[in-house]
Structure 1
Amino acid sequence: MSWIGGKKALRELIVSSFPLYYERYIEVFGGGGWVLFHKPPGNDFEVYNDFNGLLTNLFRCVREKPNELMEALYFVLNSREDFARVKDVLSTDSPESDVLKASYFYQLIRYSYASGLTSFGSQPHDMWVNFPLIEQAHRRLSKVVIENKDFEKLIGQYDRPISFFYLDPPYFETEKYYKNVGEGGFQEKDHIRLRDTLMSIEGKFLLSYNDCEYIRDLYDAPNIQIESFTRINNIKQRYDNGAQFSEILIANYDMEERKNSKPSQINLFETENGI
C-alpha cells in the first residue's frame, strides 16, 4: 500500500545492501512494509515495528483476521462523505473492534490523496480488488512479530550480535509529513537519540535518510559507511518533470559484501591476463 516515505522504488537497492549473515531481522520504522514484503522470508526471526498504533493494528488484523477484515471492507463506499465519517471516528473516538478500526484506517489510506490520510482523493477505486493482496500479506506475515514501540525500546529489546536492523525514520526537516510518530512528532533530539542508540548496538544496522549535511555530520564516525544515490522526486513530478531527490544509506558494515560474494561471470574469450 502507498505510504508517506514508502520505499517501493528503493526496495531492491535496500535489500541488495543487506549483510550476508544475520539471524534476526528487525524493521524499526515499518511504515507500509515495502522492504519487509520484498525481502525473502528465509528462516530468520522477523520483527515489524511502527509507532503508529493504527498501522500496527491494521497489520495485526491482516495477519490474524484477514477474512473478517475483508468482510468489513466489502461494502465500503468510495465517497467524500464516508471518508469524512471514518476520519472523524478515528480522530475522536475508538471503533468498537480492532477489525473495524483496521478497516476504517485502510479506507483512509486507500481513498485519501497521496495516502496522506487527510483529504479525499477523488479517484476511482474498488476496495475488493485489494483482497488478493490482503491474502498474500496475511501469508507473508504469519510468522512476523508485530510491535508498536518507541525505536529505542525496540532496539534494546531485540539487539544481539546476530541481529540486523533496517531503519527508515522520518527524514530530517520533513518530519511534519509523518502522522502518529509520537508525542510532539519526530524532532531533532530524536534523530540524535537514534544515532546514539545505533552507535551502541551489538548487531548490524542499515539506515536510509535524505542526503543532507546535518545527517552526514551526525554519522561521521569510524567504521560507518555512507553511500549516496538519487531517485525520481515523486512529489515534484507534477511541476518539475525528472526532478531528482538525493538520499543516503548508512551502515555499520560493508554494504558491498553481498554483491562481492557473488561469483564473477567468466567470459569465454577472456584469459588470465584479462586479454
Structure 2
Amino acid sequence: MSWIGGKKSMRELIVSLFPLYYERYIEVFGGGGWVLFHKPPGNDFEVYNDFNSLLVNLYRCVRDQYEELQNELKYVLNSREDFDEVKAVLDKAYVENDVKRAACFYQLIRYSYASGLTSFGSQPHDIRSNFPIIEQAHRRLAKVVIENKDFEKLIRQYDRPVSFFYLDPPYFDTEKYYKNVGEGGFQKEDHIRLRDTLLGIEGKFLLSYNDCEYIRELYDAPGITIESYNRINNIKQRYDNGAQFSEILIANYDMHERERDGLGQMNLFDINNEFNKEEISL
C-alpha cells in the first residue's frame, strides 16, 4: 500500500544489497512493508516493527484475522461524507475492536488523497478487489513477528551477531510528514540516538536516508560505508517530468558481497517460490 517514504521503487536494489548470511531479519521502521514483502521468505527469523500502533494493528489483523477483516471491508465508501464519518470514528477512538479499527484505518489509506489519511481522494475504487492481495499478505506474514516498539528498545532486544537490521527512518528535515512516530515526533535527537544505537550493535545494518550533509557527517565513522542512489521524485514528477531524488544507503558491512560471491541481483530474484512470482502489497 502507498505509505509515506515507501520503498516501492527501491525495494529490488535494497534486497540485492542484503548481506550474504544472517539468521534474523528485523525491519525496524516497517511502514508499508515494501521491502519485507519483496524479500524472498526463507528460514530466517523475521520481525516487522513500526511505532504507528494503527499500522501494526492492521498487519496483525491481516496475519491473524484476515477473513474477519475482509468481512469488515465489504462496504464501499462512495462519498466524502462516508470517508469523513470513518475518519471521525477512528480519530475519536470509538473503535475498540481490533478488526474494526484495522478496517477503518485501511479504508482511510485506500480512499484518501495520496494515502494521506486526511481527505477523500474521490477516486473510484472497490476495496473488495484487494481481498486476494490481503490473503497473499496473510500467508506471507504467517511466521513474521509483528512488534510495536521504540526503535532503540527493538534493536537492543533482537541484536545478535547473526542479526540483520533494515532501517528506513523518517528522513532528516522531513519528519513533519510522518504520523504517529512517537510523542513529539521524530526529532534531531532521535537521529542521533539511532546512530549511537547502530554503531554499538553486534549484528549488521542497512539504513536508508535522504542524501544530505548532516546525515553523511553523522555516519562518518570507521567501518561505515555510504553509497548514493537516485530515484524518481514521485511528488515533483507531477509538474517536473523526470525529477530525481537523491538517497543514500548506509551499512556496516560490504553491500556488494552478494555480487562478489556470484549471487548478484539476477540470481537473487530468480528464486522459485510463489511469493517471488507475484507482487504482494496491501
- TM-score, normalised on structure 1? 0.95
Q: Retained in 1: the 8 A contact 2:168–2:208? A: yes
Match of 2:77 in 1: 77
Partner of 1:256: 256
Between 1 and 2, higher relative CO (CA 8 Å, sep ≥ 6) is seen in 2
Per the alignment, residue 213 of structure 1 pairs with: 213
Q: Distance in 2 between matches of 1:263 and 1:66?
A: 35
**What does residue range 220-259 of structure 1 map to in structure 2 within 5 Å?**
220-259=220-259
1:161–1:106 CA distance, 2 compared to 1 (3 A): same
Q: Secondary structure at the match of 1:201?
A: coil
In structure 2, what is the Cα distance between the partners aligned to 1:262 and 1:124?
46
Q: Residues 263 and 211 (structure 1 numbering): CA distance in 2 closer, same or farther, change over 3 Å?
A: closer
Q: What residue number does 2:100 align with?
A: 100
Spell out, residue by residue over 1:5-49, the C-alpha distance to the aligned partner (whole angstroms, 9 max, x if none).
000000000000100000000000000000000001100000000
Aligned residues: 264
Aligned partner of 1:156 in structure 2 is 156
Distance 2:69 2:54 in 1: 14
Q: 2:248 is paired with a residue of what secondary structure?
A: strand
Deviations 1:150-179 (A, max 9, x none): 000000100000000000000001111111
Q: Which amino acid aligns with 1:202?
A: E
CA-atom RMSD, angstroms? 1.0
When residues 147 and 94 of structure 1 are mapped into structure 2, their CA distance, relative to the original with a 3 A threshold, is farther
Structure 2 residue aligned with 1:176: 176
Letter in 2 for 1:259: E
* Partner amino acid, structure 1, of 2:146: I
Alpha-carbon distance, 1:103 to partner:
0.1
Q: CA deviation at 1:263?
A: 6.9
- Counterpart of 2:53 in structure 1 is 53
Cα distance 1:263–1:32, how it changes in 2: closer, same or farther (>3 A)? Answer: closer
Query: SS of the counterpart of 1:42?
Result: coil
Q: Does 1:19 align with 2:19?
A: yes
CA deviation profile, 1:71-116 (whole Å, cap 9, x unmatched)? 0001232321111111111111240310000000000100011111
| Partner residue, 1:36 | 36
Structure-1 separation of matches of 2:77 and 2:245: 36
Aligned residue for 1:222, secondary structure, equals: coil
Runs of 4+ residues over 6 Å off in structure 1: none
Rounded Cα–Cα distance in structure 2 between residues aligned with 1:46 and 1:82: 37
The residue that corresponds to 1:91 in the other structure is 91
Task: Give TM-score scaled by structure 2 length.
Answer: 0.92
Could you list the per-position Cα deviations for residues 191-250 of structure 1 after superposition, in whole angstroms to 9, with x for gaps in the alignment?
A: 000000000000000000000000000000111000101000000011111100000000
- Unmatched runs of 5 consecutive residues or more in structure 2: 265-282
What code does the residue aligned with 1:11 have? R
Q: Which piece of structure 1 moves more, 83-92 or 124-133?
A: 83-92
Secondary structure class of the residue paired with 2:226: strand
Q: Corresponding residue for 2:117?
A: 117
* Identity score, percent: 80
2:112–2:119 Cα contact (<8 Å) kept: yes
Mapped partners of 1:10, 1:230: distance in 2: 9
1:65 Cα deviation from its structure 2 partner: 0.3
Q: Which residue of 2 aligns with 1:194?
A: 194
Q: 1:167 matched to which residue of 2?
A: 167
Shift of 1:259: 1.1
Task: Specify the structure having the higher radius of gyration (Cα).
Answer: 1
Determine if contact 1:78/1:111 at 8 Å carries over to the other structure. Answer: no
Aligned equivalents of 1:46 and 1:93: distance in 2? 31
1:112-140 Cα distance to aligned partner (Å, 9 max, x none): 11111111111111101100000000000
Tell me which amino acid in the other structure corresponds to 1:236: K
Write out aligned runs for 1:132-147 (5 A). Answer: 132-147=132-147
